[in-house]
Structure 1
């Protein structure tokens, strides 16, 4: 059984891979949502936030004398590509992407909550602080999506009913 710091390192590597996956998914979505400028702007902003979060996780790993896992990161990028490509075939991609992104933000927030608890258990207050910054950002993004998902759904349906380009631009 790994000691607590080894476990924290493993979870930080998982979180780094998670953020890499998130960036990959968002970058793929970015090119297909030009019909929804408010969403597009927020996706572009969150790509930058996600990259900062990945950098924070690298910092955390370096503080513990470790680094990211190339294998976990590579697998996460493949999963991110597959998830973003799967939406291309859905006519209602923008709504499904909103639902998925909201769920993923909640998943990320849960991971940061666990990382904070593990870092505190290990006496790593700076790591807990860095993870709290990312948690706050994930909560903000989840709340932003939650507030806009009903209107996004209505806009999609209205555009579709009017014969306008309702789907995400391909």
Structure 2
């Protein structure tokens, strides 16, 4: 059976749903461990709420293609997020490494949604274009926020380390 353009879009939407499942878990576990960084913690929790909504919106797109999210991909995403959060427990600079991972992950999401929007536009699926353009904007805003705050967070981390040394 040949793969259609709509099949590819549905596959990419399933990937996006799994990515959001992973992001939700990563955001929550990271937020739990960055109490010394209240502004970062609050923004992570805000984005976790956005992420839950994004996953729900992606499911509505999948429903139009008469398919659903991939339980296997969702589980793999959650397992990856769990492994990342556990590995953070063993490093003293977890907030900095988490910041780097967060910036990288947000840019991966921006790339994924850019591709989905282009594909949906090509297929004339205006509802998916609208939904994923909104999600793309939220992901881009989160990436920009993390990048803007990175120097401040690193300074705060280094200052705290200097006083504990």
Match of 2:55 in 1: 54
Where in structure 1 are there 5+ consecutive unaligned residues?
Answer: 165-170
For 1:60-116, what per-residue CA distance to the aligned partner results, in whole angstroms no more than 9, with x for missing partners? Answer: 001111111111111111111111111111100001101110110000000000000
Match of 1:7 in 2: 8
Give the CA deviation at 1:121: 1.3
Mapped partners of 2:95, 2:76: distance in 1: 25
The TM-score normalised by the length of structure 2 is: 0.97
Q: How does 1:32-47 map to 2 (within 5 A)?
A: 32-47=33-48
Equivalent residue number for residue 85 of structure 2: 84
Matching of residues 1-170 of structure 1 within 5 Å = 1-163=2-164
- CA–CA distance in structure 1, aligned partners of residues 32 and 42 of structure 2: 12
What is the number of residues matched between the two proteins? 164
With a CA cutoff of 8 Å and minimum separation of 6, indicate the structure with the bigger relative contact order: 1
TM-score, with length taken from structure 1: 0.94
**Where does structure 2 lack aligned partners over 5 or more consecutive residues?**
none
CA distance in 2, matches of 1:25, 1:81: 7
Q: Distance in 2 between matches of 1:76 and 1:95?
A: 22
Deviation at residue 119 of structure 1 after TM alignment: 0.6
1:167 aligned partner: none
Question: Alignment RMSD, CA only?
Answer: 1.0
